Amino acid sequence: MYYVVTGAAGFIGSNIVKTLNERGITDIIAVDNLSHGDKFVNLVDCEIADYVDQDAFLEAVEAGEFNGALAAVLHQGACSDTTETDGRYMMQNNYRYSRALLEFCTADEVPFIYASSAAVYGAGTTFKEARACEAPLNVYGYSKFLFDQWVRRRWGEFTAQVVGQRYFNVYGEREQHKSRMASVAFHFFNQYRTAGSVRLFEGGGGYGNGEQRRDFVSIEDVVRINLFFLDHPGKSGIFNVGTGTAQSFNEVAEATVNACRKARKEAPLALAEMQQQGIIRYIAFPEELKGKYQSYTQADIAALRAAGYAAPFLTVEQGVARYCERLLQRAAR
């Protein structure tokens, strides 16, 4: 029996593949679209049974080639560019493709664990897995929202586990290919290493400079939650995947800079010192993001805890420091 990971060469998918390998699982079918081939490097240190292009995989599924052959599908593949404006592409890639895979999994009684997004909540201030809280600001968020809605309407028809995970702001290893869509921790690390300073957005909408707040969650925690559900096939539902705590972009910048300073055996600096020394700089808020930007997110993780996931989460200070250490080790090699 094979485990399928879609988006397998991507950020979250490749981390899942690597962690499955650490469990001794190598019967993995990696599904992705490598038309932009740079992300292949995320799979170089992984063991897989086969690689299949995303379109070819769907054709094979619909032709019955995988009937009775799959242990689970971890569906991480999607267009995650929140600034993408091609709605037809977004809906085909994120909504229609996901529907087709879930229909196969239902017919073949295969557990289906998929990636949703906190983008479904838009500019709201309550982040609970409830329709009243959902109002996406862009077509990416809408594609995720619409699939979640389709799943909700079909609950009574599913023959195996179905789990949707609304990822908040994920950061960590194997995201280098994401370019401008990589995490702020990744960008701050590279800015500081290159220029000795980091750039944050100015304030607005009631927030001071760099004080917009998000629920930043480490890839380590995200993978643990995916595997928790894989290990508990009797648990289904749509769940927030965040720490339950909002922290500011200033805090991410401070943690990043101090992790780099520690590696150079330099004393840590407080935020005010970084601002005074020009290490943290503020730039004008981009016009194209106005009205489409979440200035605040904080996952309500009550449903996740009620499902039995009890592990603690890494804070920004802990998780970003660990991430920067690994980025520095990689740079040294």
Residues taking part in catalysis = 140, 178
DSSP for residue 183: -
CA distances from 237 to 44, 85, 198, 201 (A): 33, 29, 39, 36
Token pair for residue 90?
Answer: 């977004």
- Residue 161 in contact with residue 234, Cβ under 8 Å? yes
Token pair for residue 43?
Answer: 């799979």
Q: Are strands 70-75 and 112-117 parallel, antiparallel or unpaired?
A: parallel
| Number of Cβ atoms within 10 Å of the Cβ of 157 | 9
Picking from 54, 62, 43, the residue whose alpha carbon sits closest to that of residue 94 is 54
C-alpha–C-alpha distance, residues 212 and 246, integer Å: 9
CA distances from 305 to 34, 180, 206, 301 (A): 36, 33, 31, 6
Cα distance from N-terminal residue to C-terminal residue, the chain: 37
